[in-house]
Amino acid sequence: MLTSDLDSKSGITYGAEAWTLRQEQRENIEAFEMWCYRRALRISYVEHVSNDEVLSRMSQSRKLLSRVKSRKLKYFGHIARHPSMDEGVVLGPMPGTRRQGGQRRQWLHDITDWAALELPRVVNLAGDRREFRSFVHSIIQSPRRV
């Protein structure tokens, strides 16, 4: 079972554009991908085969989380380029008072963390589709960024 099968046929990443990924969810996505590879190779956990060995047997690298990042970044670029209701919802201020407790991770935190830039700079980058597309590609190809 290849990653493209994981992503396109089974609907695993359905709605990934709207996900807010905390560390636990990122780890779960990577664990699920490894579980799928192990199932495809019929490797039991009792066999104590390392993840690196599983990836080399599959001639694969971890791609599922990168696809989620790519979809989310592309959706952000779409929102930032087009004035629409989504832009007001995503980039605009939230009315009302904050909930009790610590700060919650927001959808835009993933974008700014992956880009390693401030939000206004990422919005400006998204204005040029070709430049933003190469920017997203560089983020996805870079070694494990957040």
Based on the fold, state whether residues 27 and 53 are members of the same structural domain. Answer: yes
Instruction: List the pLDDT tens digit at each of the 146 positions of the chain.
Output: 455 556 555 678 888 888 888 899 999 999 999 999 999 999 988 999 999 999 999 998 888 888 889 999 999 998 888 776 555 666 666 677 777 777 777 888 888 899 988 888 898 898 889 999 999 999 988 765 45
Taking the CA atoms of 24, 31, 6 and 51 in sequence, report the sign of the dihedral they define: positive
Question: What are the angstrom distances between the C-alpha of 54 and each of 1, 59, 65, 77, 101?
Answer: 12, 9, 17, 35, 41
Based on the fold, state whether residues 55 and 69 are members of the same structural domain. Answer: no
- Residue 36 CB neighbour total at 10 angstroms: 19
Residue 26 is assigned to a structural domain of this protein: yes
Environment class of 79 (CB within 10 Å of its CB; exposed 0-12, middle 13-18, buried 19+):
buried
Give the domain range for residue 119: 65-94+105-141
Whole-model pTM? 0.76
Residue 81 is assigned to a structural domain of this protein: yes
Residue 100 is assigned to a structural domain of this protein: no
The count of structural domains within the chain is: 2
